[in-house]
Structure 1
Amino acid sequence: MFERITEETFDEIFPLLEAAFPVTELRIREDQRNLLQEEYYRLYGVRKDGVFAAVFATWEIEDFLYIEHFAVKEEFRNGGYGGSLLDTLLKEKGRPMVLEVEVPEDAMTRRRVGFYERHGLVYNDYPYLQPPMRKGQGMLPLRFMTKPSAIDNKTYERYKKQIYKYVYKFEEE
């Protein structure tokens, strides 16, 4: 079901990422492609009717799974497809999970948080700043959602430190 993306299939999947994420939440094409060489990074595509219908970008860091990107092609949304893929991925990986979401301040961001909550993730209100994904960008205020449960401050700090180190190559001052 989950097809590991390689150099050969990367150009097929990247447009799905570009269509689903704003530039503040996505690396430039070559930087994203270069991640395929990273030890902890996995990029997966899911095909439906022969085309990529969904994408997961994950980092398997220590004892947890960090989902950097998850997107479903627009024509396959709102029918339960994305939720079933997310549930399957989490079951297959069998480890605690973390992802970043926007602070739920409008209908769309509240809806996104609600989607993840329906799939067992918990919103954690620790003030988290995502390091820039492209040169010239600032820190982006986001929050963690985690599964199977909420996390304490010590776990939050550990997850943040590891994500900064491996995913963003960022050191706090």
Structure 2
Amino acid sequence: MLSPHKITSTDSPLFARVDALYAQAFPWHEQREAAAKTEALNDPRSALEAWFDGEQFVGMSGSWRLGEMLYIEHLAVDGTLRSKGYGKILLAELLTRAPLTVLEIDPLTTEIAHRRLRFYESMGFIANPWAHAHPTYHQGIADHELVVLSYPQGIDAAGYQRFNEGLCGVVMGLKQPSP
């Protein structure tokens, strides 16, 4: 069983370790800027967590509680520990936190994206048919298209709208949802 350690400040001794994995695991256009990281840490709906197997740091998650929904914004396992089952264990722990969990993956244009989809499907996620653009993390670049997955069931149009409003309004702090 893995143990999560919630990070509430950039001054936390674990923040640098989690932030280094975050920077390594996600492309720049999928990363929050420094001020946005601090804002997220200050929001009680947000949980940035370092995950450990005993004393061994294995990964990180960034998630948001949006009503009855858990949105997993970021999830990464230390590259030296991949293919050892930690991703499944970490994700299984997160799935116990809410009756509905939502996350996004890249469009299915590469083999890596297809492998990610197969991983999430093996955990019970459903790919939803809604056209979706994640709001940009950086001024001057466009929103990026992603595929919305949900667990344990798909989401209807109203459920997608609730998710997108939470993503845009709460997670990204925008006044209007992306189209």
Q: What TM-score range do you get, normalising by the shorter chain?
A: over 0.9
| Partner in structure 2 of residue 122 of structure 1 | 126
Once the two structures are TM-superposed, the CA of residue 49 in structure 1 deviates from its matched residue by: 6.0
Kindly indicate whether residue 33 of structure 2 is the aligned counterpart of residue 28 of structure 1: yes
| Partner in structure 1 of residue 137 of structure 2 | 133
Contact 2:48 2:60 in 1 (8 A): yes
| Partner in structure 2 of residue 168 of structure 1 | 172
TM-score normalised by the chain length of structure 2? 0.90
Kindly indicate whether residue 96 of structure 2 is the aligned counterpart of residue 97 of structure 1: no
Once the two structures are TM-superposed, the CA of residue 104 in structure 1 deviates from its matched residue by: 1.0
What amino acid maps onto 1:115 in structure 2?
F
Contact 2:127 2:154 in 1 (8 A): yes
Once structures 1 and 2 are overlaid, which stretch shifts more, 120-129 or 49-58?
49-58
| Partner in structure 1 of residue 161 of structure 2 | 157
| Partner in structure 1 of residue 110 of structure 2 | 106
What amino acid maps onto 1:166 in structure 2?
V
Provide the aligned C-alpha RMSD in A.
1.5
1:29-108 to structure 2, matched below 5 A, reads 29-48=34-53, 50-91=55-96, 93-108=97-112
Counterpart of 1:147 (choices 151, 154, 160) is 151
Once the two structures are TM-superposed, the CA of residue 39 in structure 1 deviates from its matched residue by: 2.2
Contact 1:56 1:67 in 2 (8 A): yes
| Partner in structure 2 of residue 5 of structure 1 | 7
TM-score normalised by the chain length of structure 1? 0.93
Unaligned runs of 5+ in 1: none
What amino acid maps onto 1:82 in structure 2?
G
Give identity over the alignment, percent.
27
Partner SS, residue 159 of structure 2: helix
Unaligned runs of 5+ in 2: none
What amino acid maps onto 2:30 in structure 1?
E
Once the two structures are TM-superposed, the CA of residue 84 in structure 1 deviates from its matched residue by: 1.3
